[in-house]
């Protein structure tokens, strides 16, 4: 198996040309000029502490600006409760900070969910070859921490589980059983065939696929009834109107209750300040998506909001060399995902927990 | 108002006065507290990476101690309940000391909340009107009931002391109902903490309805065990006399609750291991290890030995009646339950992970020092509160008393 050569491998390179709707990026400096203080004062009584701080920060062009930006960021509201003006302001603040920090023009998109869209995902486990290109594409696209010095510095949202095919053998028929009176109460003829969820994702073969294994990628299931959202004490993680469960990284207090609640081990904690080299940083970001995170907050897959809200596929779908990954609008009967749900045998992981994932597995 | 000022000054003055032993004790606690502050600083600059926590084991000693100390706080009710509901003479005399213990334990819990968070600087996000309070979150409820319990105990405890100090009669019209509320509230704090863990179907080790009652009985064994030890220290080092009847009743409570706790643990072992589903993997890992990883096995068995051993010793009359020997089973029960709550319940909830990965938890030096420092901080506060309370109960601190004359 070889990857499809026409598939883009470096998401950062082709963003500027292919993105149908140019990301709401702009030169932060220019934006500062656009947002005059008068505009803010016009918005009247809604002037919050954060907007005061923010305005002060954006207006002062001195060396203290950086510190002021962070200070203002500290007092901003929960993203979902911000007024459009406050959102715009928060975006500018972040764009300025990120641009300074990573030495390039960074955009922070704030595109909202579009009506009539409910995102869905389907994965053909029959086709998956376990190459883990999706894992690496996801890390590159979504600005995950990629340090190597300490184990906690490496974060991957997708895990590809390797499952042994297993077999039943004549020689093992009498291992262990029968016992006592010679009446069989069980057998040992098996090796675990079809063992799902045994955590075998640390495999490193020379070639994939391996003859004796099948693969099952797993990431956030974007549940319709997400247990992680229910347990969040500050409502920083929530379901967006178009489906994905997102996190306002600036509002997260790092209590990790969501990590206890997630049955799919989809959530990761930034144990330290993410290790994200300047040159590898993807500057096209979304506020609720792949913008760089900070120390002490939780993050997870969000179906590449920075792409999918602009009619592009998530990075993992785009990179998959065998086309195992399908993504689309569940409300559109003509979408690929809807067609799969209509025609294929699909199943959800841990369906018994009533989380109602919008991530489906299927096979031909 | 003038009375209140003199209460504060007299109280402070009395608490600050002490012998070499007192200052040595407080000094060594202070050293640990300074150490704790340093590692807390590390943790909030470098991040939780300085602890043994990982993506798989996202909480460890901090959450374990938090849960355990909620139990200790709730355990104070084992004094207050007999004192005010059964009008137990000996208990009534020391009820206020139980309230002081509850105050210190809840404060420790709150420091542990800070310790386990990734962003303690953002705690205000969960406090309205600046933040958002979420009624669907068990952590939200936990923070609410804990703060309520702190306030209740503060009011009940200090109002009682205030009346003793000023010589005013206690206004029973509101004081007694408030004490009853505090008694029920004590149950609520540990129940909600049990729900915090149990309401996670993702973690089969925690996901069963036995958790709240198990939390309560272990709390009512560990809490009074600590209280007995503290009472014996008070009897030895101060002029304040805790009645034998109070200690004996506490011993009975510990013994009964410890017995039920052991019974519940063994019931869980039978139910889980008979069917031996994948959901029993956490318990199996705890008891015997899984895939060759056995990090928690010694913890489980030492906890079981300590608890069962303590229970047997409590059965022997000599250990119950000789208060020197009584310290042994009390210490054993306390340590046994501390292990059971932490390494025996919180940590195996994370192992294996929801996708079946088995990893080991190695608490780092930072974690141990922080835990030790927070305990030291708790005992620092407890010493102050108990000393002040005892001073007032003995009549050494009194409105218009010798302390004022000394001025």
pLDDT digits (tens, 9 = 90+) for A289-299: 999 999 999 99
Give B406 or B79, the one with higher predicted confidence.
B79
Dihedral sign for Cα atoms in the order A230, A235, A240, A244: negative
3-state secondary structure chain B: CHHHHHHHHHHHHHHHCCCHHHHHHHHHHHHHHHHHHHHHHHHCCCCHHHCCCCCCCCCCHHHHHHHHHHHHHHHCHHHHHHHHCCCCHHHHHHHHHHHHHHHHHHHHHHHHHHHHCCCHHHHHHHCCCCCCCCCCCHHHHHHHHHHHHHHHHHHHHHHHHHHHHHCCCCCHHHHHHHHHHHHHHHHHHHHHHHHHHHCCCCCCCCCCCCHHHHHHHHHHHHHHHHHHHHHHHHHHHCCCCCCHHHHHHHHHHHHHHHHHHHHHHHHHHHHHHHHCCHHHHHHHHHHHCECCECCCHHHHHHHHHHHHHHHHHHHCHHHHHCHHHHHHHHHHHHHHHHHHHHHHHHHHHHCCCCCCCCCCCCCCHHHHHHHHHHHHHHHHHHHHHHHHHHHHHHCCCCCCCHHHHHC
Residue among A252, A265, A270 with most chain B CBs within 10 A, to mutate = A265
Q: Which two tokens stand for residue B192?
A: 């909600």
| pLDDT over 70 at B118, yes or no | yes
Q: What is the C-alpha separation between B347 and B336, in angstroms, rounded?
A: 15
Nearest CA distance, A311 vs chain B (angstrom): 32
Geometric angle at alpha carbon A237, from A235 and A240, rounded to 5°: 110
pLDDT at B30: 97
Across residues A199-206, what is the average pLDDT? 85
B-chain residue closest to A299, CA distance:
B55
A-chain residue closest to B200, CA distance:
A261
Distance between start and end Cα atoms, chain B:
18
pLDDT cut 90: percent of chain A above it: 64
Residue B247 contacts A where some CB pair is shorter than 8 Å = no
- Asked if residue B320 lies in contact with residue B248, where contact means CB atoms within 8 angstroms, the answer is yes
B169: in domain: yes
Dihedral sign for Cα atoms in the order A294, A296, A298, A300: positive
Residues 107-146 of B with CB under 8 A from A: 116-123, 125-126, 131-134, 136-140, 143
Q: Which band of pLDDT confidence, cut at 50, 70 and 90, is reported for residue B405?
A: very low
Query: Residue A208: what are its φ and ψ, rounded to 5°?
Result: -120, 155
Per residue in A12-33, pLDDT tens? Answer: 433 433 444 444 443 444 444 3
| pLDDT over 60 at A47, yes or no | no
Least CB–CB distance from B134: residue in A161, A232, A259: A232
Q: Which two tokens stand for residue A356?
A: 């109602």
Q: Which of A61-65, A128-132, A343-347, B273-277 has the lowest mean pLDDT?
A: A61-65
Q: Radius of gyration over alpha carbons of chain B, in Å?
A: 22
Q: What is the C-alpha separation between A272 and B46, in angstroms, rounded?
A: 6
Q: Which of A209-213, A287-291, B52-56, B135-139 has the lowest mean pLDDT?
A: A209-213
Nearest CA distance, B174 vs chain A (angstrom): 33
Residue among B357, B360, B362 with most chain A CBs within 10 A, to mutate = B357
B2: in domain: no
Dihedral sign for Cα atoms in the order A173, A177, A182, A186: negative
* CATH number for the domain harbouring residue B222: 1.20.1630.10
State how far Cα B124 lies from the chain centre.
24
Per residue in B296-339, pLDDT tens? Answer: 999 999 999 999 999 999 999 999 999 999 999 999 999 999 99
Does the bond joining A209 to the residue before it have cis omega, within 30 degrees of 0?
Answer: yes
Per residue in B197-210, pLDDT tens? Answer: 999 999 999 999 99
pLDDT at A10: 40
Range of the domain at B313: 11-406
pLDDT at A174: 67
**Is A261 in contact with B202 (Cβ distance < 8 A)?**
yes
B-chain residue closest to A296, CA distance:
B118
| pLDDT over 70 at A62, yes or no | no
What is each CA distance from A167 to A130, A164, A174, A187, A363, in whole angstroms? 20, 9, 15, 13, 21
The Cβ-side half-sphere exposure at B21, using a 13 Å CA radius, reads 5
B-chain residue closest to A262, CA distance:
B202
B-chain residue closest to A300, CA distance:
B55
What ipTM was reported for this prediction?
A: 0.90
In chain A, residues with a C-beta closer than 8 Å to the C-beta of B278 are 197
pLDDT at A98: 94
Nearest CA distance, B302 vs chain A (angstrom): 27
Q: How many CB pairs under 8 A join A and B?
A: 142
Q: E strands within chain A?
A: 107-109, 119-124, 159-164, 213-218, 237-239, 245-247, 268-269, 284-286, 298-299, 325-329, 345-347, 359-363
Residue A155 contacts B where some CB pair is shorter than 8 Å = yes
| pLDDT over 80 at A55, yes or no | no
Q: Which of A188, A152, A4 is nearest to B50 (CA)?
A: A152
A-chain residue closest to B357, CA distance:
A199
B4: in domain: no
pLDDT at B401: 67
Q: What is the C-alpha separation between A108 and A119, in angstroms, rounded?
A: 21
| pLDDT over 50 at B369, yes or no | yes
Residue A197 contacts B where some CB pair is shorter than 8 Å = yes
In chain A, residues with a C-beta closer than 8 Å to the C-beta of B120 are 253
Query: Residue A160: what are its φ and ψ, rounded to 5°?
Result: -100, 110
Q: Which of B232, B218, B245 is nearest to B334 (CA)?
A: B218
B96: in domain: yes
pLDDT at A183: 74
Q: What share of chain A is helix, strand, coil (3-state, %, to 5)?
A: 30, 15, 55
**Is B357 in contact with A232 (Cβ distance < 8 A)?**
no
Nearest CA distance, A309 vs chain B (angstrom): 28
pLDDT at A63: 54
Owner of token pair 């057998």:
A187
Least CB–CB distance from A271: residue in B48, B120, B353: B48
Pairing of strands A345-347, A359-363: antiparallel
| pLDDT over 80 at A192, yes or no | no
B306: in domain: yes
Least CB–CB distance from B354: residue in A201, A255, A264: A264
Q: Which band of pLDDT confidence, cut at 50, 70 and 90, is reported for residue A46?
A: very low
Q: Which of A170, A143, A169, A83 is nearest to A278 (CA)?
A: A143
Least CB–CB distance from B119: residue in A153, A254, A265: A254
Query: Residue B48: what are its φ and ψ, rounded to 5°?
Result: -70, 0
Across residues B65-79, what is the average pLDDT? 95
Domain count, chain B: 1
Q: What is the C-alpha separation between A233 and A179, in angstroms, rounded?
A: 53
B-chain residue closest to A202, CA distance:
B357
pLDDT cut 70: percent of chain A above it: 79
| pLDDT over 70 at A171, yes or no | yes
CB under 8 Å to B155, separation ≥6 — which residues?
A: B178
Nearest CA distance, A136 vs chain B (angstrom): 18
Q: Which of A143, A157, A155 is nearest to A281 (CA)?
A: A143
Geometric angle at alpha carbon B142, from B138 and B147, rounded to 5°: 155
pLDDT at B397: 87
Per residue in A215-245, pLDDT tens? Answer: 999 999 999 999 999 999 999 999 999 999 9
Residue among B42, B46, B192, B355 with most chain A CBs within 10 A, to mutate = B355
Q: What is the C-alpha separation between B96 and B162, in angstroms, rounded?
A: 11
Q: Radius of gyration over alpha carbons of chain A, in Å?
A: 23
What is each CA distance from B98 to A144, A163, B95, in whole angstroms? 49, 55, 5
In chain B, residues with a C-beta closer than 8 Å to the C-beta of A48 are none
A-chain residue closest to B47, CA distance:
A272
Residue B200 contacts A where some CB pair is shorter than 8 Å = yes
Nearest CA distance, B134 vs chain A (angstrom): 5
- Asked if residue A329 lies in contact with residue A335, where contact means CB atoms within 8 angstroms, the answer is yes
CB under 8 Å to B109, separation ≥6 — which residues?
A: B66, B69, B70, B73, B146
A-chain residue closest to B42, CA distance:
A272
B5: in domain: no
What is each CA distance from A70 to A25, A83, A87, A105, B123, in whole angstroms? 20, 20, 16, 18, 17
In chain A, residues with a C-beta closer than 8 Å to the C-beta of B202 are 227, 260-264, 353
Least CB–CB distance from A256: residue in B59, B123, B126: B59
Residue A225 contacts B where some CB pair is shorter than 8 Å = no
Helix (H, G, I), strand (E, B) or coil at A15: helix
| pLDDT over 80 at B100, yes or no | yes
Across residues A141-156, what is the average pLDDT? 94
Q: Which two tokens stand for residue B398?
A: 């009194």
Residue B355 contacts A where some CB pair is shorter than 8 Å = yes
**Is B203 in contact with A260 (Cβ distance < 8 A)?**
yes
Across residues A320-325, what is the average pLDDT? 96
B1: in domain: no
B3: in domain: no
Q: Which band of pLDDT confidence, cut at 50, 70 and 90, is reported for residue A65?
A: low
Paired with A328 in beta bridges are: A120
Helix (H, G, I), strand (E, B) or coil at A169: coil
CB under 8 Å to A169, separation ≥6 — which residues?
A: A189, A191
A-chain residue closest to B141, CA distance:
A233
Domains in chain A with CATH codes:
26-105 (no CATH), 119-158+219-363 (3.30.70.20)
- Asked if residue A229 lies in contact with residue A245, where contact means CB atoms within 8 angstroms, the answer is yes
Q: Which of B56, B110, B130 is nearest to B353 (CA)?
A: B56
């Amino acid at each position: 198996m070889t990857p499809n050569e026409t598939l883009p491998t470096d998401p950062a390179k082709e963003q500027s040309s292919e993105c149908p709707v140019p990301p709401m990026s702009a030169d932060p400096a220019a934006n500062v000029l656009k947002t005059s203080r008068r505009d803010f004062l016009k918005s009247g009584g809604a002037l919050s502490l954060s907007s005061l701080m923010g305005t002060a920060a954006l207006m002062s062009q001195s060396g203290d600006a950086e510190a002021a930006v962070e200070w203002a960021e500290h007092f901003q509201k929960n993203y979902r409760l911000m007024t459009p003006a406050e959102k715009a302001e928060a975006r500018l603040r972040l764009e300025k900070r990120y641009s300074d920090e990573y030495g390039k023009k960074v955009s922070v998109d704030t595109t909202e969910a579009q009506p009539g869209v409910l995102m869905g995902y389907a994965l053909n486990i029959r086709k998956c070859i376990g190459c883990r290109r999706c894992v690496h594409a996801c890390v590159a696209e979504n600005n995950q921490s990629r340090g190597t010095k300490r184990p906690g510095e490496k974060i991957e949202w997708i895990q590809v589980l390797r499952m042994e095919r297993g077999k039943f053998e004549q020689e093992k028929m009498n291992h262990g059983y029968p016992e006592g009176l010679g009446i069989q109460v069980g057998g040992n003829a098996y090796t675990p065939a079809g063992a799902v969820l045994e955590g075998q994702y640390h495999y490193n073969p020379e070639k994939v696929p391996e003859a004796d294994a099948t693969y099952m990628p797993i990431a956030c299931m974007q549940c319709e009834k997400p247990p992680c959202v229910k347990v969040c004490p500050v409502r920083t993680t929530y379901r967006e109107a178009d489906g994905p469960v997102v996190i306002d990284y600036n509002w997260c207090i790092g209590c990790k209750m969501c990590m206890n609640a997630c049955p799919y081990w989809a959530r990761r904690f930034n144990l330290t300040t993410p290790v994200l080299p300047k040159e590898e940083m993807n500057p096209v970001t979304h506020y609720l998506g792949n913008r760089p995170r900070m120390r002490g907050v939780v993050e997870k897959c969000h179906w590449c909001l920075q792409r999918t809200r602009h009619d592009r596929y998530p990075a993992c779908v785009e990179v998959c060399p065998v086309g195992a990954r399908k993504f689309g609008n569940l409300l559109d009967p003509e979408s690929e995902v809807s067609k799969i749900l209509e025609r294929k045998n699909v199943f959800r992981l841990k369906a018994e927990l009533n989380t109602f994932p919008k991530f489906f597995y299927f096979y031909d | 108002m003038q009375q209140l000022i003199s209460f504060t000054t007299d109280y402070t003055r009395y608490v600050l006065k002490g012998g070499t032993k007192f200052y040595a004790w407080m000094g060594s606690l202070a050293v640990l507290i300074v150490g704790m502050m340093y590692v807390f600083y590390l943790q909030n600059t470098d991040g939780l990476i300085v602890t043994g926590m990982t993506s798989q084991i996202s909480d460890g000693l901090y959450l374990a101690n938090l849960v355990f100390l909620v139990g200790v706080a709730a355990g104070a009710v084992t004094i207050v309940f007999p004192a005010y509901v059964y009008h137990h003479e000996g208990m009534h005399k020391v009820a206020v000391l139980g309230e002081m213990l509850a105050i210190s334990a809840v404060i420790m819990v709150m420091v542990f909340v800070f310790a386990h968070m990734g962003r303690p600087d953002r705690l205000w996000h969960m406090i309205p009107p600046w933040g958002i309070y979420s009624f669907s979150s068990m952590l939200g409820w936990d923070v609410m009931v804990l703060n309520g319990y702190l306030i209740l105990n503060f009011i009940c405890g200090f109002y009682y002391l205030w009346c003793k100090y000023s010589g005013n009669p206690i206004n029973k019209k509101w004081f007694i109902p408030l004490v009853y509320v505090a008694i029920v509230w004590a149950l609520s704090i540990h129940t909600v903490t049990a729900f915090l863990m149990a309401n996670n179907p993702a973690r089969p080790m925690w996901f069963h309805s036995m958790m709240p009652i198990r939390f309560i009985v272990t709390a009512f064994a560990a809490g009074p065990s600590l209280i007995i030890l503290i009472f014996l220290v008070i009897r030895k080092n101060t002029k304040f006399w805790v009645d034998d009847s109070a200690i004996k009743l506490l011993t009975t409570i510990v013994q009964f609750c410890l017995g039920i706790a052991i019974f519940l643990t063994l019931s869980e072992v039978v139910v889980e291991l008979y069917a031996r589903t994948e959901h029993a993997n956490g318990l199996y890992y705890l008891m015997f290890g899984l895939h060759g990883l056995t990090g928690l096995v010694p913890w489980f068995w030492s906890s079981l030995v300590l608890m069962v051993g303590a229970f047997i010793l409590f059965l022997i009359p000599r250990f119950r009646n000789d208060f020197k020997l009584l310290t042994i089973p009390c210490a054993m029960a306390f340590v046994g339950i501390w292990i059971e709550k932490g390494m025996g319940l919180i940590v195996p909830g994370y192992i294996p992970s929801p996708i079946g990965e088995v990893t080991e938890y190695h608490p780092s030096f930072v974690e141990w020092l922080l835990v030790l420092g927070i305990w030291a901080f708790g005992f620092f506060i407890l010493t102050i509160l108990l000393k002040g309370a005892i001073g007032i109960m003995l009549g050494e601190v009194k409105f218009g008393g010798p302390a004022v004359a000394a001025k």
